[in-house]
Chains A and B, each alone.
Chain A
Amino acid sequence: MALRRPAEAPLLAPAVRPGRRTLADRESVLGPLLLAPALLYVILLVGVPFFMAILLSFSSAVAGGLEFSWVGFRNFQVLLSDGQFHRALQNTLRFMILSQLLVMVLATAAAHVLDAAFVGKRLVRSLLLLPWAAPVALSSMAWVWIFDSTFSVLNWTAKKLGLLQGWWYWFGDPALATVAILTVHVWRTFPFATVVILAGMSAIPQEIKEAALMDGAGFWRRLFHVNLPMLLPVVAVAVLFGLVFTATDFSVVWLLTRGGPYNSTHVLSTLAFQRGILGASLGQGAAVAIFLLPILLVVAVLLLRVARRAEVGA
């Protein structure tokens, strides 16, 4: 409302003074001009490195040196016969799928709880968001301490409750380490999904809810026949984002297990780091990382599709 003119001002604008029009007034120029820095940045520092990553995967480049020699598909051939790589690829998919399945259930439940009116709802909601909003490298350290091999509070509690006879070495056993990583992934992504689903729930027209209630539909019936179908696009958006975040996560796995024990919990990103930076074999590392691409591509396509449908439905 900054330009509301006093009532006595002429309705028609004062004539445009000649000479005030500059180059910047020509919108065909101004538009691209304003956009150029962002476009340049994105092309130079996302686009170019992106293709560099692909090129690197076909090279025997090493860290430190700058030489570049084309080796064709050799890196990929090596990887395909590499058990560690298979394991990493499987782990990536496993963490993605299992954690998001859990997230879907937990987040839908949590959103329904939060949707009901109760005292302290705002507080609960903001507390729920902490895991998502806290820097993951730091909260992962808290989990490292929670799962600590000797001082694990979980072990203590399980023992006290009589659930545990021996001792769980969380990061010393491949199965337990996998559970630990999954826990952190779920812990970190379910709050975000909850809030997204909550936003989706408030968008369901009140009439539909009331109509279902009037027709005598019970809680579960309303959940499965009214709420969930209407929420599906929103849940899908939340879960797809969760998939991207778990697929590309590095910090959780790196800080919890460094890919151990015995390289059993590596995911693509940690293996790429180990090979490319610690092992100094950039080409190998890049080839590992490239396998993230098809995964991300599928998720991105699904995301766009679901988002479009959600829009139409809205």
Chain B
Amino acid sequence: MYAAALAFTLFAVFPFYWMLITAFKQNRDLYVGATNLQHIPWIFNEPPTLYHVRLLFLNTPYLLWLRNTAFVGALVVLITLLVAVPAGYSLARLAGRWGERLGIGIFLTYLVPPTLLFLPFARLVSWLGLQNSLWALVLVYPTFTVPFCTWLMMGFFRSVPRELEEQGLVDGYSRLAVIGKVVLPLAVPGMLTVVIFAFTLVLQEFIYALTFISQVDRMTISLGVPVALVRGDVFYWGSLMAACFLTSVPIAVVYSAFMDRFIAGLTAGAVKG
């Protein structure tokens, strides 16, 4: 049992180990194994170095990409919250029977993949004059965050006991006041989930960024690292892997911390409340 668990874990974790060890290896240590079979690539043969990490932070636009990503991420999260939270509530409480179908309809749009939409968006973006602009990403990214987050919020609102709201209404509060004072505070964990998901989805997006952004200093992190850290045919594997590790592991940890809600939302969102 332990052996099987270990095997699965090793398979899953190996690329991350490889990022980590590459990021801190000296160049001499990295590029010898091909010619010299005695040189073991799996471990540090020379003492680890911070050289690649320093190179990444000081001599590449990595920090700029982080800033771009934060900018796009923050705006997309804001748009998603403003749009998905009211919609989720409306579908959960006010829409009645057609809400169910509409909810499924909105969720299905989440299955329409970027790889189908990037060409029309390329045209839309050039029509709006937004090529090479982060605003293009701000405009387009909610297309995948909104459907999913609306679905999630719908599930969360359904889990708020109806009686609480009815009591508020009986007490003479308006529906909006009930939403503001009773429902929203209870839905804070749901909204937090939405924030995390919208943000991590933005961090992970690749094809739209590749299509719209060609200027290196306007790239986001998951575009810049694979595309712009490769200069010509030369791969600076040390810095490249440092960037991959420093970016992907924190995201992955945060994302998987919310994974259970994601799965619950995915499967239980349809369960009638």
Interface residues of A (CB under 8 A from B): 1-3, 13-17, 20-22, 24-25, 27, 30-35, 37-39, 41-42, 45-47, 49-50, 52-53, 56, 61, 63-64, 66, 106, 109-110, 113-114, 116, 118, 124, 126-146, 148, 150-151, 153, 156-157, 159-160, 187, 191, 194-196, 199, 237, 244, 247-251, 254-255, 268-269, 272-273, 276-277, 282, 285-286, 289-290, 292-293, 296, 299-300, 304, 307, 310-311
Whether B51 is near chain A, meaning CB under 8 Å from some CB there, is no
Shortest CB-to-CB span from A28 to chain B, Å, is: 8
Shortest CB-to-CB span from A173 to chain B, Å, is: 17
Against A, the Cβ 8 Å flags (1 = close, 0 = not) of B95-136 are 110010010101011011111111111111011000000000
Complex contacts, A310 vs chain B, CB 8 Å: 267
The answer on a CB contact under 8 Å between A135 and B248 is: yes
Against A, the Cβ 8 Å flags (1 = close, 0 = not) of B236-273 are 01001101100111011101110110010001001100
Secondary structure call for the B interface: helix
Q: Give 11 A-B pairs besides A127-B12, A133-B252 with Cβ atoms closer than 8 angstroms.
A: A24-B176, A25-B174, A25-B175, A39-B87, A42-B109, A42-B146, A63-B122, A63-B123, A133-B259, A148-B235, A276-B122
Shortest CB-to-CB span from A43 to chain B, Å, is: 9
Complex contacts, A61 vs chain B, CB 8 Å: 123
B124 touches which of A49, A116, A276, A300 (Cβ 8 Å): A49
Given A138-B248, A145-B18, A300-B111, is A27 in contact with B175 using a C-beta cutoff of 8 Å? yes
Whether B70 is near chain A, meaning CB under 8 Å from some CB there, is no
Alpha-carbon distance between A170 and B14 when the two chains are bound, in angstroms = 18
Complex contacts, B175 vs chain A, CB 8 Å: 24-25, 27, 30
Complex contacts, B104 vs chain A, CB 8 Å: 304
Complex contacts, A273 vs chain B, CB 8 Å: 118, 207, 210-211
Complex contacts, B8 vs chain A, CB 8 Å: 106, 109-110, 113, 124, 128, 194
The answer on a CB contact under 8 Å between A37 and B83 is: yes
The answer on a CB contact under 8 Å between A113 and B84 is: no
Nearest to B38 among chain A residues (CB) is: A160
Given A109-B4, A142-B15, is A133 in contact with B255 using a C-beta cutoff of 8 Å? yes
Shortest CB-to-CB span from B149 to chain A, Å, is: 9
The answer on a CB contact under 8 Å between B267 and A199 is: yes
Complex contacts, A34 vs chain B, CB 8 Å: 86-87, 89-90, 94
Q: How many A-B residue pairs have CB under 8 A?
A: 311
Alpha-carbon distance between A128 and B170 when the two chains are bound, in angstroms = 49
The answer on a CB contact under 8 Å between B263 and A139 is: no
Interface residues of B in 204-253 (CB under 8 A from A): 204, 206-207, 210-211, 221-223, 225-226, 235, 237, 240-241, 243-244, 247-249, 251-253
Whether B82 is near chain A, meaning CB under 8 Å from some CB there, is yes
Shortest CB-to-CB span from A141 to chain B, Å, is: 5
Interface residues of B in 167-202 (CB under 8 A from A): 167-168, 170-172, 174-176, 181-182, 185-186, 200
Given A2-B185, A35-B87, is A135 in contact with B204 using a C-beta cutoff of 8 Å? yes
Given A34-B90, A38-B150, A114-B5, is A142 in contact with B12 using a C-beta cutoff of 8 Å? no
Alpha-carbon distance between A244 and B9 when the two chains are bound, in angstroms = 25
Shortest CB-to-CB span from B202 to chain A, Å, is: 10
A-B contact pairs, 14 of them (CB 8 A): A34-B94, A35-B95, A35-B102, A53-B119, A109-B4, A113-B4, A133-B255, A134-B251, A135-B247, A145-B18, A146-B18, A156-B34, A159-B37, A244-B113
Whether B66 is near chain A, meaning CB under 8 Å from some CB there, is no
Shortest CB-to-CB span from B171 to chain A, Å, is: 5
Shortest CB-to-CB span from A85 to chain B, Å, is: 15
The answer on a CB contact under 8 Å between A282 and B123 is: yes
Shortest CB-to-CB span from A14 to chain B, Å, is: 5
The answer on a CB contact under 8 Å between A268 and B115 is: yes
Nearest to A184 among chain B residues (CB) is: B15
The answer on a CB contact under 8 Å between A248 and B115 is: yes
Complex contacts, A160 vs chain B, CB 8 Å: 37
A145 touches which of B16, B117, B241, B256 (Cβ 8 Å): B241
Shortest CB-to-CB span from B92 to chain A, Å, is: 10
B19 touches which of A33, A38, A131, A142 (Cβ 8 Å): A142
Alpha-carbon distance between A113 and B89 when the two chains are bound, in angstroms = 39
The answer on a CB contact under 8 Å between B207 and A250 is: yes
Given A2-B164, A137-B206, A289-B115, is A129 in contact with B259 using a C-beta cutoff of 8 Å? yes
The answer on a CB contact under 8 Å between A16 and B126 is: no
Complex contacts, B18 vs chain A, CB 8 Å: 142, 145-146, 153
The answer on a CB contact under 8 Å between B87 and A139 is: no
Complex contacts, B91 vs chain A, CB 8 Å: 35
Alpha-carbon distance between A47 and B125 when the two chains are bound, in angstroms = 16
A129 touches which of B203, B211, B256 (Cβ 8 Å): B256
Nearest to A114 among chain B residues (CB) is: B5
Nearest to A159 among chain B residues (CB) is: B37
Nearest to B82 among chain A residues (CB) is: A37
The answer on a CB contact under 8 Å between B114 and A52 is: no
Shortest CB-to-CB span from B15 to chain A, Å, is: 4
Alpha-carbon distance between A45 and B121 when the two chains are bound, in angstroms = 9
Whether B26 is near chain A, meaning CB under 8 Å from some CB there, is no
| Residue of B93, B127, B146, B243 with most chain A CB atoms under a 10 A cut-off | B146
Shortest CB-to-CB span from A218 to chain B, Å, is: 16
Nearest to A183 among chain B residues (CB) is: B11
